A and B are shown apart, each in its own frame.
Chain A
Amino acid sequence: MTTRIARVLSNVFGVNAAEITETTSQDTLEGWDSLNHIHLVASLESEFRVSFTTDQALAMTSVAAIRAALSEHGVAGD
């Protein structure tokens, strides 16, 4: 993937952006633990200039869920 979402995940988890797909999730990406999840949320907020609620942030455990949360803020993740 070459989307902004993929770039953010790539930076936070230290993996190649090409390895990030639409099906990437907390279950498939090594290192996606709680602290990295917090870093991911902060990075997404910074990248897309949005502020997630705690419930939204907790639900963003996959690329699809991140995309859904961003769309709630009227933002596309591409």
Chain B
Amino acid sequence: MPTLRPAHTTDLAAISAFLAPRLQGAGGEARYRRYLGYSWLDDKPNLGFLIEDGGIRGFIGGIYSVRRVAGTDHKMCNLTSIWVDESHRKWTLPLFKHMFDQPGYTFSSLSPTPQVVEILRFFKFHKHDAHKVIATPAAGIARSLRRTRVYSARSLERELDATSLQIFRDHRPYGCGHFLVERGDERCYVVTVRRGHGVRAFADVIYASNPEFLVSAIAHLHVPVGITHKTMLIGLERTWVERVPFGTFVYTKLRPRLVRGASAGTSDVDGLYTELVVVSGWP
């Protein structure tokens, strides 16, 4: 009879050795040590849950964080690095249940396989399209004449408010882009990660403190984003853009986003403090 239990730091080497040949992500075991050894939470509840039966037979990873939304702290858990050996597949649902039995968390999965989507739907997750509006350098040119300043990571720290500053410090160890866009009284702190490969690569905006303003000022971000991520294409949440403007196109090929909220709403779930961050800048 297998044992289902929380995974802890002492299991990290065994979990990484279990996942690397099965999920085959670039970087081997180091990739999974990086995923589960994220730096923003010293006191992690666990690394996820595992099935043990003479060795690890299954694992579901959890990347935890506490997010302050509208003055309230929310406990978040982003699911990552999921695998169960064929011989133990009947234990998959109990494994997920152990994870979801942790009270008070809002769970998210940002790049689930079709099989994981089925499982999460079974557990009453809500599925949302992760459509992006991809802005090319031609986007927003008509509005680019207005005086706008963009601070890069080297100079923005002293300009940020407390919430943005915490996000900046938590994400600085990773390969994210950080920008502060300013025009008159309006400001937007932006965090980006590079996604996709080759000509399909784009800088995905995983956080914008003022999305409406960002959309209006997008033309000013192409050059700094290009320097940081080696792509001039910028991905914006489809929901931020009312009408798809000139110089942009809608990208619908990303895997859906699934969320089950204990307290935070779907709109409060973004790419910060997730696997998108810990993998950014990774080969």
Contact = CB atoms under 8 A, between A and B. Distances in A.
A32 B92 CA distance: 11
Nearest to B94: A58
Interface in A29-73: 32-35, 37-38, 41, 54, 57-58, 61
Chain B interface mostly: helix
Interface residues of A, number: 12
Nearest to B115: A35
Given A35-B115, A35-B118, A41-B122, 4 more contacts: A34-B91, A37-B90, A38-B93, A54-B122
Chain A interface mostly: helix
Given A35-B119, A38-B122, A57-B122, A26 B97 contact: no
B123 interface: yes
B89 interface: yes
Contact of B90 (A33, A41, A54, A57): A33
A35 to B, nearest CB: 6
Interface of B: 84, 89-94, 97, 115, 118-119, 122-124
Nearest to A39: B118
B89 A34 contact: yes
20 contacts: A26-B90, A32-B90, A33-B89, A33-B90, A34-B91, A34-B119, A35-B89, A35-B115, A35-B118, A37-B93, A38-B93, A38-B118, A38-B119, A38-B122, A54-B122, A54-B123, A58-B93, A58-B94, A58-B97, A61-B90
